[in-house]
Amino acid sequence: VADFLAELAAYKLATGASDEYVLARVLPVAFQASAARWWRIVAPFLTWEDFRRKFQDEFLPPGYQSRVQRELERRTQHPDETLVEYVRVMQELYDRACPTTSESDRVARVMQQSHPRFRPYLRGRTYSTLEHLARDAHGIQETLLAELQYRPPPPPEEALEPSCAWRAPGPRRSPTQRQTLDGAVCPPRALDSYAFGQWERGRPLDGSDPRLRARPAGSRLRQGESRLRSFPRTANRGADRWSNEGHQEGPQRQAQASPTHGPDRRNSVRCFDCGRHGHFRRDCPDLLRNRPAASGNEYGRWR
């Protein structure tokens, strides 16, 4: 009933048609079934207000006023509903159910039944009308969205000027405790319905390709230095052989080669026979001591 009356009001406003024209020319072709039968019996109507009152008395459900009052009391803000959307819905609900309710009572109910996320920002503020509250709701959503999107400053090891970076006064936190700088967080729909829709459609929140997001410059420099240090020198081309001597065979030997270089590389190897560090299986003292006498060819096959 309320939707039909709202559509008629929108038609009158858009076309500039008078009440008499709508009553005499539009309604006879707009009504169907039981509504058309009612029109033929009750028409004509003296004024638009006379039609609206009789139409509501005929087609509104029994006990509409008391039931819609309870609906107003139960209509709270959904967690995914923006504050602006909630204010507009309550405005329309009041216009349909209780148009004579004062603006102060409307504002008090909307603030009381808003979501707890927004209530601390509404407490202590005064609004003369729901329209005033709707305009201020945008600023409240922006404040909550800024708090959600806050990122801590980068640590010294990820800054170009480490001396200007913030250093924790206490023990250093592990990387897993620090929020990533390039991780995009989807805000709740109640704060940013557009970004929430982008996230639901699988699109990046900032409109860019996430694969092309640049990492901090300091991080790229350290990654390049790490690759240079781990690149094998010419003198260590045989590292993929001696680091896996014993039981490793096949193509995995090169992938599992030890990156250790320099004079301490034998301290990092471990014998597969006795389990001690510092020598290979072929040089194991226990193996050489217990090995039976054999010819040179057999010794080569043993190795």
Q: Is residue 107 part of a domain?
A: yes
pLDDT of 242 > 80? The answer is: no
- Decide: helix, strand or coil at residue 125: coil
Question: pLDDT tens across 160-191, in order?
Answer: 888 898 886 655 544 433 333 345 667 777 78
Report the domain count for the chain: 3
pLDDT of residue 236: 45
* Half-sphere exposure for 79 (CA within 13 Å, toward CB): 2
C-beta separation of 93 from 75 below 8 A: yes
pLDDT of residue 61: 83
pLDDT of 258 > 50? The answer is: no
Q: Is residue 119 part of a domain?
A: yes
User: Which structural domain, as residue segments, surrounds residue 284?
Assistant: 265-303
Q: Rg of the chain over CA atoms, in angstroms?
A: 39
Question: pLDDT tens across 86-114, in order?
Answer: 999 999 999 888 888 999 999 999 999 99
Pair (15, 82) in one structural domain = no
Pair (44, 83) in one structural domain = no
Identity (one letter) of the amino acid at 157? E
71 closest CA partner among 61, 81, 85: 61
Pair (17, 90) in one structural domain = no
Show Cβ contacts of residue 64 under 8 Å, excluding neighbours closer than 6 positions.
none
Pair (71, 49) in one structural domain = no
pLDDT of residue 224: 52
C-beta separation of 118 from 140 below 8 A: yes
Show Cβ contacts of residue 230 under 8 Å, excluding neighbours closer than 6 positions.
259
Q: Give the end of a domain, one of 148, 172, 189.
A: 148
Provide the CA 25 distance to its chain's centre, in angstroms.
52
Q: Is residue 153 part of a domain?
A: no
Q: Is residue 225 part of a domain?
A: no
- Among 29-43, 61-75, 118-132, 247-261, the range scoring the smallest mean pLDDT is 247-261
Q: Is residue 44 part of a domain?
A: yes
pLDDT of residue 179: 37
Provide the CA 174 distance to its chain's centre, in angstroms.
24
Identify the DSSP state of 192.
-
